[in-house]
Structure 1
């Protein structure tokens, strides 16, 4: 791959599709009966997953199939992996060798071992016997080989290292700090393969229940033609602006990020059209590739799908799906706004020409796009009211009536689409580029929005499970794929409806095949990551990692976060985003929360998980292994390493944002009302654009160094107003520990107090500290103290603590303290909320300084640079 890009040769369309297949769905595509068999198997897998997610699953599927759905899911993935992915570069591409058939069958059988021998395993209490352990070991070896083929060697190597640690953790070769007693083969295999702690754990369960449906939804939506429609609309809206192809690439990639969870597929799908056009208006090959990489990779942070991480966060963090995507929404949106602004500044700096001869105002364009998205959001939200009215009128048949109304809406929108020609992909290398006119093409794909509305409605309004929501949206896509061609033919007065219907059936089958093949890697990644998670739970290495990270960082939270970010980047260089997120969050999420509490910073768990996820995504960009950068260089003909470095520079805000929302959780809209949420959105948008201007060295005109520094500082103040206000007015006042109960009674209801608890660690005996946040509820001092569950033993000025009851709010947090050691656990300090001016007042001087810089730059900017936004 790098050979092609280093020579400056852009790959052909066929070579690019082979590149995507090799990385995402398997490079081997045998013909004849074997190819048909694999296609049928992929369709069967997709249909099985759809039935499993349906409301009728309990009727259509036997109970033991539902109970063992994870095993069946993995069996399909392993079998197809050995069939679709060659073992080596020299392995045959057009037929499957006998050894691959043997491994495919053996892998699928052992994956189904828990299904075939379910009763035997239940009778033995989930513990492996001598036969089980050898089957389990063979299963792990085959799983690692399938993962090596589908995901590259890194995933298999890391999982193998963790597995070796399980067996040889007591060896003198293992450093003292992470040494443990080791486990027998029987115990390890029982944990990893027989129980739901390892391979068949939460991650594979999420892949089975939710992720498959969303990947299939994306594949079907793309097969219906939505990907091309979104790209055309983006180019129609933005293509004629300065740097328009790059701006369209950003918006188009954000839209196709909904369809594709793969950075590489996203780069190739949109990049084959956008990169040549970007080069045409003045971007270098590397810059064009870098813009596409930054756009495509960031598609994974966009709700509602976010790769597969959103569904994993539901399980790992223990909050609802709606809460996850609410917290992830603002950083994703402002990140994309910043990327559009980066592209704009590049175009202005280079005085790039525009494409076409239409004069378009960027202000009107942005206003029009904002109006469209606001209208779409209002439609998704407002549809609940007529639905409630219909349910109230005919409660028994409401489901059928609503389905009929959706189909009527689809037919009406399809009739509109039939009035304009079908959208064909454009040739970006044509001598004259005619960019589409939105007013002429928007009708052609309005009906593609219906499945998305159905998905968002069930997720956000009805708050159904992600799997059920995706099921209903997928059912609508089934109907669209089967009927869009014959209905269009009918509306256009054409007579070949039978052929059109046949083409629709072919599209549906191909969409089912694509969805299944795209899931092979994700299924194997989640299963293999389960070995790493299983190692953490079996050995307790997570606690050791906390001690190790604390030692290396010296207890400094910023340094620790940098280390976690670097770990995500390094692991992510060889792992898919989903697997990287599972591994790093399993190892480090609890560590960050614990060490944050010891530093006096209460970090919500969701913030840490998003932090890990953002850095895992960055690994697709970062040289020397950033796979998306290689894919973009293959399209552009540029240098892959240079493309990666420029892409990393363009993605700086993706690096900065996680640090910001760890310390300012308002950005994640945690405990924020509507009014404050709107203010945070406006200020955060200004802050990210100012940060972008500061790092790009251009605001209204070329910035001087001190102006760039000032812009970055202004962005920091807008993102972290509390940092400044806390130094003007401390947010807490100290209270003597002996006066805690009295202060508890005097505190205002709804506020909170912070307690620092000090005492010996249960494992090491060394004195450590942690911070507790005590919310102030109703009642007097005694009632409030009882509600905390803390058992205080005052002795003069010293307040000792007894072990809290098992059910108390802080039992889990304090369980790492040794309450029975010689040194007591004590209440070291108490802080009560102090009166403080609103931190938002800090915005005023920051915005005033921004206005001053704008005034100074405007005064010296050449006249022709005024209003270059068009």
Structure 2
């Protein structure tokens, strides 16, 4: 009894001390409340006191993870014993788990009970699960009825109830935003016309039966591509991240970043940026990133001189950027594969440079803040430039080792094909055991207290050996994705399988190497960690599963109504036909549509509505915008909704940690994120920034990519200095303007070149065949097409890019594009292009059967011009002038 009293008193003292520390640091929430904040948004805040109910929720989550691993394993060894499920069968099961767990884990309202599940939630869970499982159980019946256009009354009733229950589940798990947007799209599909619906996108309205059939019973709505991506890819990557975090990788990454950067001016802020970048590799949630890294880094940032709002803003900007980092990108990478139809490796290639230079610029921004405020370092100050050099050397060494590994594996496959896989697995096991042995020679990493009176900054040499084995699953993931070029699902399965093995064995192996006797106890702990990791991964997927299903409502509405094709015309009317204004409007629309939605859902919504708008509006202005650039454009702005008030969920989470004002935190974070806002505009006008058209399979292509990366990094650092008003010293207004001009010149030298020299030679349409015949393979011709619009009847224009890909005469090249010419004197009219050709897709909005013909208005071929790099010379001279002016006022080292 005495021991129990002492224990209770100790707990009370601990709680009192913790509350005192938190009050002193200005925090508004305790650690428990912050974890509840994360749970409320990511995993569900309900924690029933009835153990049977708690076990039921955990059991369902565990069963969901096991189901996903079962359908993901690539060998299908069970095919002779159990049926192999296809996509139309796995998606309903996936959504059944998500909906049932949504009602069991998420309370209906803030004041709803969290310690037990009300009866109405049990009813909703059963009804929702029944409506989704109906699609699985009666999939063959649906194929001959609803999906053949003949739904039964029973099916319509089940579909109607299913949509309502799904929207309620989305409201609970994600907030009201997606539910409201989905409901508005359903109303728009049904009504078609009204005083709030512009004439341009109005339609006759779909019948109730047609809407339910398309949205719930068919495979293009709720059970369409977004839910398919969630089922096949996203779950495995979320589970992979959850297992890594449960194993201790999250704390390892934070400690490693703090050890490497904590000694610098503003070191905690730099560590927050780098730690969030690494955490972003294993987390799909901006809010979880903020709370996970922010509870440690934000108090330390405040200790070295950042205000509460600045500290929270740095954490928000770096955590949200974690959603931009390949290979996961908040699951948007996998959706891009499906929506655009390009390989996953291509998505990673295009997304890599913008994400990396954005993080580099953020590190530089917090460095400039530290210089402006003359912030001290924690402990003995070290050189920022020295840290950069060490990082580059380490990156080069890792790259050399990875390259050597590729050659070794290729040698084994060529000379020992039968045994190559076995040798590689044995080698991987040996490396893992060796790295765990190295880790066992040092104490396990503990979570530091950022409010301790004395902060001891660890050294990299002390930290990095303790978690090198966490890198192995990431290397396996990258290996199968990039080297073997396997599917994301198979790659994630192999990486997750290795992670399952690590989480079970790392503690027993450490105990064995340390000479401990509790080997069996450590195995039990490993199994418990495995179980908790599987449960946590599934609970983190509840919101994503529901979000992708609900977002399917928007996707189906876009395909069934004119809004998808006519939104470009609406945006064009609002912008007056000025491309930059169009892009700004699209960015604002993407911000608004993305408010309150998780990464996956906001990308689905904004890409379904806006990506094609960017491409078509660019074409009307003569700018050929790659589809991947348009998707990245809307994705970046959708991500920024996590930052921007009044919603800004990540900003509110950071303010809860820092004790600052959430609205002010949001605006400051948006200011820090200006480089993220600028990047989409830059790669729309200069697709080379996303390595579009760069062949990384050649030495010349790799060198070109390195050159683009170096230039883009330099330009982005100057852009950051210009927006921060500080470079070598506090900048005067004209110096900031000069740095901005230099940065934009390096990013977009073609803008200056286009000002002085026309980019194209204009030819009359009558010379089109001649121009095609004279072109060399690799040349590009631009065709200005004009004719009646199929929807409005008015005159429409667009630009068609024709790439000469092979030798041949003019006619064979024209046939390859799919164009059918009708020469009429000096005019060249067009018949409807060949079905399925690239020209047919690009010219689908023209009416080829009207009274007025569709014709080639003009032909443009690249002009012989100066090299665009010539404008780097005046830009660098202007940069040198700024350097000389600021050197006179410089009072502290720039690095």
TM superposition score normalised by structure 2: 0.94
Which residue pairs with 1:644 in the alignment?
Answer: 666
Q: Could you give the per-residue CA deviations for residues 22-67 of structure 1, whole angstroms, max 9, x where no partner exists? A: 1111010113111111111111101111111111346355234654
Query: Which is further off, 753-762 or 788-797?
Result: 788-797
Which residue pairs with 1:373 in the alignment?
Answer: 395
Decide whether the 8 Å contact of 1:233 with 1:442 is kept in 2. yes
Which residue pairs with 2:447 in the alignment?
Answer: 425
The equivalent position to 1:838 in structure 2, one of 867, 877, 887, is 867
1:859 aligns with 2:882: no
Q: Secondary structure at the match of 2:329?
A: coil
Q: Distance in 2 between matches of 1:646 and 1:306?
A: 24
Which residue pairs with 2:599 in the alignment?
Answer: 577
The equivalent position to 1:678 in structure 2, one of 687, 700, 706, is 706
Shift of 1:399: 2.7
Which residue pairs with 1:758 in the alignment?
Answer: 786
Decide whether the 8 Å contact of 1:459 with 1:469 is kept in 2. yes
Q: Distance in 1 between matches of 2:412 and 2:87?
A: 34
Alignment of 1:342-741 (within 5 A): 342-356=365-379, 358-672=380-694, 673-741=701-769
Q: Could you give the per-residue CA deviations for residues 584-606 of structure 1, whole angstroms, max 9, x where no partner exists? A: 11111112111111110110000
Shift of 1:747: 2.2
Q: Could you give the per-residue CA deviations for residues 489-536 of structure 1, whole angstroms, max 9, x where no partner exists? A: 000001001111111111111100110000000001100000011111
1:310 aligns with 2:333: yes
Decide whether the 8 Å contact of 2:749 with 2:869 is kept in 1. yes
Q: Could you give the per-residue CA deviations for residues 381-430 of structure 1, whole angstroms, max 9, x where no partner exists? A: 43222222223344334333322211111000000000111110111111
Q: Distance in 2 between matches of 1:85 and 1:678?
A: 47
Decide whether the 8 Å contact of 2:178 with 2:550 is kept in 1. yes
Which residue pairs with 1:801 in the alignment?
Answer: 830
Decide whether the 8 Å contact of 2:846 with 2:854 is kept in 1. yes
Decide whether the 8 Å contact of 2:503 with 2:530 is kept in 1. yes
Decide whether the 8 Å contact of 1:64 with 1:115 is kept in 2. no
Q: Secondary structure at the match of 2:828?
A: strand
1:10 aligns with 2:64: no
1:265 aligns with 2:318: no
Shift of 1:806: 1.5
Alignment of 1:776-791 (within 5 A): 776=804, 777-791=806-820
Decide whether the 8 Å contact of 1:204 with 1:526 is kept in 2. yes
Which residue pairs with 1:81 in the alignment?
Answer: 102
Cα distance change on mapping 1:807 and 1:178 into 2, 3 Å: closer
Q: Distance in 1 between matches of 2:403 and 2:172?
A: 44
Q: Distance in 2 between matches of 1:651 and 1:172?
A: 38
Which residue pairs with 1:146 in the alignment?
Answer: 169
Q: Distance in 2 between matches of 1:168 and 1:780?
A: 53
Q: Could you give the per-residue CA deviations for residues 782-812 of structure 1, whole angstroms, max 9, x where no partner exists? A: 3333333322222232222222222433012
1:98 aligns with 2:119: yes
Which residue pairs with 2:69 in the alignment?
Answer: 50
Q: Secondary structure at the match of 2:761?
A: strand
Q: Distance in 1 between matches of 2:42 and 2:837?
A: 48
Alignment of 1:265-344 (within 5 A): 265-344=288-367
Aligned length: 861
Q: Distance in 1 between matches of 2:26 and 2:460?
A: 35
Shift of 1:91: 1.0
Which residue pairs with 2:18 in the alignment?
Answer: none
Which residue pairs with 1:817 in the alignment?
Answer: 846
Q: Distance in 1 between matches of 2:757 and 2:776?
A: 19
Q: Secondary structure at the match of 1:112?
A: helix
Query: Which is further off, 299-308 or 570-579?
Result: 570-579
Cα distance change on mapping 1:221 and 1:730 into 2, 3 Å: same
TM superposition score normalised by structure 1: 0.97
Q: Secondary structure at the match of 1:308?
A: helix
Decide whether the 8 Å contact of 1:321 with 1:466 is kept in 2. yes
Decide whether the 8 Å contact of 2:146 with 2:217 is kept in 1. no
Q: Distance in 2 between matches of 1:158 and 1:744?
A: 48
Which residue pairs with 1:70 in the alignment?
Answer: 91
The equivalent position to 1:166 in structure 2, one of 159, 165, 189, is 189
Q: Distance in 2 between matches of 1:51 and 1:340?
A: 42
Decide whether the 8 Å contact of 1:52 with 1:66 is kept in 2. no
Shift of 1:545: 1.4
Q: Distance in 2 between matches of 1:264 and 1:389?
A: 45
Which residue pairs with 1:39 in the alignment?
Answer: 58
Q: Distance in 1 between matches of 2:196 and 2:328?
A: 43
Shift of 1:175: 3.7
Q: Secondary structure at the match of 1:310?
A: helix
Shift of 1:379: 3.5
Q: Could you give the per-residue CA deviations for residues 59-101 of structure 1, whole angstroms, max 9, x where no partner exists? A: 3552346541000000000000000000011111011111111
Q: Distance in 1 between matches of 2:687 and 2:98?
A: 38
1:116 aligns with 2:116: no
Cα distance change on mapping 1:131 and 1:359 into 2, 3 Å: same
Decide whether the 8 Å contact of 2:146 with 2:218 is kept in 1. no
Decide whether the 8 Å contact of 2:62 with 2:535 is kept in 1. yes
Unpaired segments of 5 or more residues in structure 1?
Answer: none
Q: Distance in 2 between matches of 1:868 and 1:122?
A: 67
Decide whether the 8 Å contact of 1:741 with 1:782 is kept in 2. yes
Which residue pairs with 2:858 in the alignment?
Answer: 829
Q: Distance in 2 between matches of 1:552 and 1:427?
A: 53
Decide whether the 8 Å contact of 1:129 with 1:186 is kept in 2. no
Decide whether the 8 Å contact of 2:632 with 2:680 is kept in 1. yes
Decide whether the 8 Å contact of 1:482 with 1:504 is kept in 2. yes
Decide whether the 8 Å contact of 2:265 with 2:375 is kept in 1. yes
Q: Distance in 1 between matches of 2:745 and 2:710?
A: 14
1:136 aligns with 2:159: yes
Shift of 1:158: 0.8
Alignment of 1:203-218 (within 5 A): 203-218=226-241
Query: Which is further off, 376-385 or 270-279?
Result: 376-385
Decide whether the 8 Å contact of 2:146 with 2:213 is kept in 1. no
Shift of 1:702: 0.7
Decide whether the 8 Å contact of 1:26 with 1:150 is kept in 2. yes
Query: Which is further off, 397-406 or 713-722?
Result: 397-406
Shift of 1:868: 4.7
Q: Secondary structure at the match of 1:165?
A: helix
Shift of 1:630: 0.6
Q: Distance in 2 between matches of 1:783 and 1:488?
A: 68
1:184 aligns with 2:207: yes
Q: Could you give the per-residue CA deviations for residues 154-190 of structure 1, whole angstroms, max 9, x where no partner exists? A: 1111101111112211456644332211122221111
Cα distance change on mapping 1:731 and 1:174 into 2, 3 Å: closer
Decide whether the 8 Å contact of 2:344 with 2:488 is kept in 1. yes
Q: Distance in 1 between matches of 2:338 and 2:491?
A: 17
Decide whether the 8 Å contact of 1:381 with 1:457 is kept in 2. no
Q: Distance in 2 between matches of 1:789 and 1:10?
A: 64
Q: Secondary structure at the match of 1:242?
A: coil
Which residue pairs with 2:11 in the alignment?
Answer: none
Q: Secondary structure at the match of 2:492?
A: helix
